[in-house]
Structure formats: C-alpha cells, structure tokens
Chains A and B, each alone.
Chain A
C-alpha cells in the first residue's frame, strides 16, 4: 500500500486497516552489521588525490598561478620590501598633502559636478533599467522570443564594458565635459541596476500575478499591480546602492576628461605634483566614504518606512 500523504484532509475511509509495514528491529548487533553496506575497498590515511576532480582543480589552479607569475614577469624578488618601499615613497613624496591646492571654489564646484553627474546618471539609468529588467526577467517578460533575449543582451552589454571604457569612448565622440561622463555612467547604471532589478523580479511569488491575470488585465497592468508591489522594497534598496556605486565611479571619470573631481587628479599627476595628488586622493576617498554613510543611512530609513 502506498502511504497516504498527511496533507489529505479528505475523510475517506477511517476504518481502512493501517497496513503500513513496520521494520522489525534487528535482534543482534551482528545481524545489524550484516545488513550495513560494505565499507570502501581502500581507506588510506592520506586522502590526497582520492577526489580527482577536486584535487585536480586545485593543482591546475596552482599551476596557473605559477605560470602567470612567470609569464607576466612578476618580480617576486621585489615583493618582500614592498610595504617598506611604499611607506617610504608615501612619506617622502606624498606627505604632507597639499590641501591648499584643493581648498578653492573651482575644486568644490567639481565636487558638485560629480554629484550632479552621478545623480542624473542614476535617475536616468534606473528609469531605463526598469522596462529593460521587465523584459529581461525570465518569468514575467512580455515577449519571450524577441524582447527577452534582446533585453538580456542589452543589460549584459552595458555591464561587460567597464565604465571607464564607456567614458573614453564617449569623450572621444562628444569631447570633454560632464555630458559624456553622465552618459557613460548612465550606461553603467543600466547594466548594474538592470541585472539586480531582473533578479528581483525573478524572485516574486506567482500567485498574485495569476490573480491579476485572471481578471483580464493586460501585461502592463499585471506588471504594475502584481510585480511592482512585490519588488518595490528590493528595488529601492538596489537603487540607493546603485547611486553609491555610480558616485564612486563619477569621482574618477574626470580622469579621462569627463568632468568632476577626477580631472584635477589627472591634471596634478601630469605635472607630477605628488602632494597635490595626495590631497585630491584624500578628498576623493573622504567624499566617497561620506556618500557611503549617507546611502547606508537612507537605506535603513527607507526600508523601515516602505516595508
């Protein structure tokens, strides 16, 4: 007899005999032992090379590392004193940082520019990422054969190309300034947020989606009423995190000509004004850390408010 699943509530036949067979306990340990599966043919003390796939992978990996060090001409002999030499260089050339160089209105304006670029890129990127993520989600895509692969490709393309590559491409097309930077960061944002948004959609419960579809709603209505409320919290957190990452990149795009603080970095580096460079680097790190604090704070406040 097949055992009935306990979830069946149906009161079928309470008098049916319970004929589930019960295993008899073994009478002696010997009998029990006779029933156990036999031990592996060979048990060695050292388990090296018994699991071929795992141990093979480890050896292959170590071999690759060794080969890389050789092929890339990594000067291993220079490594031991590395920290000491770095400390010396830091102390001699970069210390004290020339804070006076950055304490003027132009530089502060560049910080503001960085903020503007990151803000616009995040907003625009997220607005574009939302429909892309919808089409790129395996469960909710309204167009399985055309829209889905295209959307996934678009997101992958934006992600694969490093934001600095986007930057130098756009700078060569549009010239120097904030515009190429903002556009490059937008493309980066689409790739970054798009993937996370799509993953959030793929994690929703299908029940509410079925219910909304069953009322005769079209694809867009289903998205707005069944999908959005479920992903709202995750998407908000992702958006704030995305701004954080975009801002970090925004501080550097100026190095390649795209406006913001990075431009000053390049400028000082080209003149080998190391103390200025130190000051600018410190300010960049400070600003990014501040942005991280702010975004973490906003995330906690908002997730409590909209949950």
Chain B
C-alpha cells in the first residue's frame, strides 16, 4: 500500500497547554479519513497542523515523503499548493464572484504581478468552469459569493480546493454550518470527487453518523490522544465510550 500522508508523533499546543499529545497515523491515496471526538479534543488543530495554519511543536508530517514540519516558509508555500482545504465557514471572498473565488485556488501557481491584476491563464479559467460544472454551479458562475446559500458556498469551496490539483484534501468540519440534507449532499460530493481523482481526504467531523456513512477510516481523538483507529464497522459502543468517555458517563 502506498502512503500519501503520514503523521508521526505530532504534538501541538501553547506554552501552558498541549492540545495534541503525540498523534500518529498513515493515509493511503484511496482513503477518506474521518477524525471524530468531543469538543476540544484537537480535531481542528490536527487538520490545521498538516498545512501549518497551526504550527506543530514537534513530530513529522510526511506528504509524499517530504516532511512538512521542518521546511522553510518558501517551501511551505510550495507545499501548500498541493494541499487543498475546505472550511467549516466556507471562507470565500464575499465580494468576489464565484468564478474569481474558484480561481484563487490557483494563486500559488500564478505570478504575483499577474495575480494582482486578476489575470489568470485561459487554461485556469477553463478548468475553473469545468470544476464548477462538476459541482453543479454552472449557472452561478458570475454571482457574488455572498449571494449564495450555505450548500452552494461550500460547493464553491470544494471547487476552489480542487483547482489546486491537490495531492491531499484537508476538510475542516465541512457540514457544521449546513442543514442535514445539504450536509449529506456535500459529503457525498467530496467522496465522489476524491474517489474519481484518487485524492486522499483527511476530514474533521462532528457528526459521527456522517463519518461512518461516508468515510473509509475513522480516527477517534480525545484530549489530544488517539483513542481509536479503524474502519467504520469497527466503531462499536465500547470504542465510542473510549472516545467520548467524559461526555457519556
């Protein structure tokens, strides 16, 4: 089995409080990993450590063999080009159009001067349009991002992440701000595209049912420690108690 992403003994936190206390796991190209656990377990921190939006304090994160933790800022920017991220609050640029938002996915590959004047290559525009078609937003291409519904905005976020031609998808609570029905549609869309393009997904999720329904592997975190790793079928009641111990008893 080839490994796309490997996390070794990841630690992260502040001076007075450690949030991640040595987490390790490996993700293969066809995997869709879900990270579940109670609030404050460090799920979001774990996701953000991979592209260093949060700085880890120690450990290794190997993406296709390169350790992301120790590289310089410049190399980090290059590495980030290959990691697409989808956010809970969508994080679109409200005043820009849907098309422009998706195009920002190519910023890492566009020269600074061109990007300052929003000059994107024709190929990029074509790719953006086909991605928007794929996520079902062809009719909204020129609309301003703040005029879309939650589900639509998340789909723009998905298209933006895919614009980067990523080798890994980081997904941070994609459905917490969405209605249950839309949430399932969005999860299905992510799973479908990831399978199609063979992109591994690391997804932080609150709703355990969504995790078991859509993902290939589950990691349970509690208080910064990995309490469970396995397939959804293995997630029995004892495992749930392990992960959510403090909350259920």
Chain A interface (Cβ < 8 Å from any Cβ of B): 1-2, 4-5, 7-13, 16, 207-208, 210-218, 220-221, 224-226, 229-230, 232
Interface segment, one of B63-71, B92-100, B190-198:
B92-100
List the B side residues contacting A13 at CB < 8 Å: 237, 240, 244, 248
Alpha-carbon gap, A1 to B246, bound state (A): 8
What is the number of residues of chain B that contact chain A, defined by CB distance less than 8 Å?
A: 49
Is the pair B208, A11 in contact by a Cβ cutoff of 8 Å? yes
Is the pair B247, A208 in contact by a Cβ cutoff of 8 Å? no
B29 is an interface residue with CB less than 8 A from chain A: no
B249 partner, pick from A1, A7, A215, beta carbons under 8 A: A1
Is the pair A226, B248 in contact by a Cβ cutoff of 8 Å? no
Assess A215 versus B108: contact at CB under 8 Å? Given A1-B249, A10-B36. Answer: yes
Chain A: minimal CB distance from B61 (Å):
15
A217 partner, pick from B53, B107, B176, B249, beta carbons under 8 A: B107
List the B side residues contacting A210 at CB < 8 Å: 53, 85, 87, 91
B39 is an interface residue with CB less than 8 A from chain A: yes
Interface segment, one of B5-13, B14-22, B73-81, B126-134:
B73-81
Number of A-B contacts defined by CB within 8 Å: 112
Q: Which residue of B lies closest to A220 (CB)?
A: B112
List the B side residues contacting A216 at CB < 8 Å: 77-82, 107-109, 164
List the B side residues contacting A214 at CB < 8 Å: 51, 53, 80, 83-85, 170
Is the pair A224, B115 in contact by a Cβ cutoff of 8 Å? yes
Is the pair A215, B164 in contact by a Cβ cutoff of 8 Å? yes
Is the pair B248, A208 in contact by a Cβ cutoff of 8 Å? no
Contact with A along B140-184 (1 / 0, CB 8 A): 000000000000000001001000100000100000100000000
List the A side residues contacting B84 at CB < 8 Å: 214-215
A9 partner, pick from B87, B157, B176, beta carbons under 8 A: B176
Alpha-carbon gap, A2 to B206, bound state (A): 19
Is the pair A208, B91 in contact by a Cβ cutoff of 8 Å? yes
Contacts A11-B207, A221-B115 aside, 5 further interface pairs with beta carbons under 8 A come to A2-B246, A208-B91, A220-B116, A224-B115, A230-B94
A225 partner, pick from B51, B53, B104, beta carbons under 8 A: B104
List the A side residues contacting B90 at CB < 8 Å: 207
Assess A215 versus B115: contact at CB under 8 Å? Given A12-B248, A207-B89, A229-B95. Answer: no
B105 is an interface residue with CB less than 8 A from chain A: yes
B122 is an interface residue with CB less than 8 A from chain A: no
Alpha-carbon gap, A214 to B107, bound state (A): 10
Assess A5 versus B39: contact at CB under 8 Å? Given A13-B248, A218-B77. Answer: yes
Is the pair B87, A207 in contact by a Cβ cutoff of 8 Å? yes
Is the pair A10, B116 in contact by a Cβ cutoff of 8 Å? no
Alpha-carbon gap, A2 to B246, bound state (A): 8
Alpha-carbon gap, A221 to B111, bound state (A): 9
Q: Which residue of A lies closest to B74 (CB)?
A: A218
Q: Which residue of B lies closest to A307 (CB)?
A: B95
Is the pair A8, B39 in contact by a Cβ cutoff of 8 Å? yes
Is the pair B85, A229 in contact by a Cβ cutoff of 8 Å? no
Q: Which residue of B lies closest to A222 (CB)?
A: B107
Is the pair A9, B112 in contact by a Cβ cutoff of 8 Å? no
Is the pair A208, B93 in contact by a Cβ cutoff of 8 Å? yes
Alpha-carbon gap, A20 to B95, bound state (A): 46
Is the pair A224, B116 in contact by a Cβ cutoff of 8 Å? yes
B91 partner, pick from A9, A11, A211, A217, beta carbons under 8 A: A211
The 10 closest A-B pairs by CB, nearest first: A216-B108, A216-B81, A211-B91, A216-B80, A217-B107, A207-B91, A214-B85, A229-B95, A216-B77, A13-B248
Chain B: minimal CB distance from A19 (Å):
10
Alpha-carbon gap, A66 to B92, bound state (A): 58
Q: Which residue of A lies closest to B183 (CB)?
A: A9
List the A side residues contacting B110 at CB < 8 Å: 221
Chain B: minimal CB distance from A201 (Å):
15
Is the pair B108, A217 in contact by a Cβ cutoff of 8 Å? yes
Is the pair A12, B244 in contact by a Cβ cutoff of 8 Å? yes
Alpha-carbon gap, A185 to B156, bound state (A): 45
List the B side residues contacting A207 at CB < 8 Å: 87, 89-91
Chain A: minimal CB distance from B176 (Å):
7
List the B side residues contacting A5 at CB < 8 Å: 39
Assess A212 versus B112: contact at CB under 8 Å? Given A207-B89, A218-B77. Answer: no
Assess A213 versus B80: contact at CB under 8 Å? Given A12-B248, A220-B116. Answer: yes
Assess A208 versus B92: contact at CB under 8 Å? Given A216-B77, A218-B77. Answer: yes
